[in-house]
Amino acid sequence: MLDNYEKFLDIFTQDIQAMFEHQKDYIYCKEGCSHCCEYGEYPFTEIEFLYLIEGYKKLTPDTKNKIKENFKSTVKDKDGYYVCPFLINKKCSVYSNRALVCRTFGLLNKESDGTVNGPFCGKLGLNYSNVYDKETKRLLMDVIEKNHYKNLPRVFNLNIDNIRTLELVKELGIEFGIQKSLYDWLEEYFSN
């Protein structure tokens, strides 16, 4: 099951890299920036969680203990957001096995109600902060026109419900399974 998911990831990750490249005028991601791993719910489907755990199992005992400690001390804020327990020294400890949301975060995404959702780090002066108003959820068309960017901002449809319907997913027979927050998956995993 995970073999086919890995095949899917190889292709899909290339597609995502192409999306980031296309949008590079608006992207501020760089090594050491980890705000998106410090504040989120991290919705993972079952297959994504199983794949993440495959990566976890390969870590050294010290790193695994650190992750467990991180999880034990995780505190959710009033919105249910928290620091991902896999983040160690501002780096993902399971980078090759990270979930889809970890790979796609930072782009403009279409919500199920049709509105444009910009990444929260825009509020920190990062992705799309030059062309997207997070309060009104609107692209700043006058700014975009004035600046003659190479490519216009593009809104992608990277919701899991859309990903489930991709031809590639069907071809490879991938069943993503239910979706829960990473916290809920880990609570179950560490209690067994």
Binding site for ligand SF4 (CB under 6 A): 28-29, 33, 35-37, 42, 84, 86-87, 92, 94, 98-99, 102, 105-106, 119, 121, 126-127
Minimum Å gap between C-beta 130 and ligand SF4 is 12
Helix H or strand E segment including 181: strand 179-181
Minimum Å gap between C-beta 180 and ligand SF4 is 14
Minimum Å gap between C-beta 171 and ligand SF4 is 26
Q: Which is nearer to ligand SF4, 70 or 139 (CB)?
A: 70
* Residue 97 vs residues 22, 56, 134, 147: alpha-carbon distances, Å: 24, 8, 30, 38
Helix H or strand E segment including 36: helix 35-38
CA angle at residue 45 from 39 to 49, to 5 degrees? 80
Q: Which is nearer to ligand SF4, 97 or 167 (CB)?
A: 97
Q: Which is nearer to ligand SF4, 19 or 33 (CB)?
A: 33
Task: Tell me the C-alpha distance between 77 and 88, whole Å.
Answer: 20
